[in-house]
Amino acid sequence: MEGPVTVSEQLPVLFSEEQIREKVGQVAARISDDFPSGVIATVGVLPNSMVFMADLIRRLSRPLTCDFLKVVTSEQRMDIAFGRANDFQGRDVLLVQGVVDTGITLNFITGHIEEHWKPRKLRVATLIDRQLRRKVDCPVDYACFALREHGFVAGYGLGYQERYRGKPYIGIAEPRQS
């Protein structure tokens, strides 16, 4: 990996700050309508969801709690590490993901939540849905953007080689190789 990203290092813009703000607002309105009562337990999948989740929860019109989890992978298995402060049994849970790609990780997370946390309702919101790259079926209830083939994207909390997360837009970090 190269050195730190300079502030002036730019990526080709795929989605501007304004486009992101508009889409996050639309998704937040849909979520607020779909969870008409009670407290929403929001759970962000770190690190890619952090900026999206911060903006999303500020736009929700429902009361909520916030928790975070991280999926830790090794060659043989996946584990969930989390700082869960709330009990989710029988509650409405909104899982917030930065990017849903193959669906393998999301399928693992939702299966774990359903089995161990036993929520009343579980919904998934993602900033970017790459549905064409799915290897397993997984639920995505709310997506700000659907991508077909743009290679690696970064910015707005999404990292490429742990770089660019602080960019206020989503850019193309590495174009798709033909």
In a domain, 176, yes or no: no
pLDDT band at 1 (very low <50, low <70, confident <90, very high): very low
Whether 5 is in a domain gets the answer no
The pLDDT score that the predictor gives to residue 37 is 87
Q: Considering the domain boundaries, does residue 161 fall inside one?
A: no
- Answer whether residue 158 is part of any domain: no
Q: For the chain, what is the domain count? A: 1
In the three-class reduction of DSSP (H, G, I as helix; E, B as strand; rest coil), residue 51 is classed as: helix
pLDDT confidence of 149, banded at 50, 70, 90? confident
Beta bridge partners of 42: 66, 94
Q: Of 52-56, 84-88, 120-124, 160-164, which gets the smallest average pLDDT?
A: 84-88
| Predicted confidence (pLDDT) per residue in 38-97, tens digit | 899 999 999 999 999 999 999 999 999 999 999 988 888 888 887 666 788 999 999 999
What letter does residue 115 receive in the DSSP assignment? I
* 170 part of a folded domain: no
Find the mean pLDDT for residues 21-40: 95
169 located within any domain: no
DSSP secondary structure, 138-163, as one string: ----EEEEE-SS--EEEBTTB-BTTB
Instruction: Supply the CATH number for residue 80's domain.
Output: 3.40.50.2020
pLDDT at 175: 67
**Spatial distance between the Cα atoms of 1 and 80, rounded to a whole number of angstroms:** 26
- Tell me the C-alpha distance between 31 and 159, whole Å: 26
CB-based contact 47:159 (threshold 8 Å): yes
Percent of the chain with pLDDT over 70: 91
Inside any domain, residue 162: no
| Residue numbers of the domain that contains 134 | 18-150
Distance CA 22, CA 124 (A): 19
Is residue 36, in this structure, part of any structural domain at all? yes
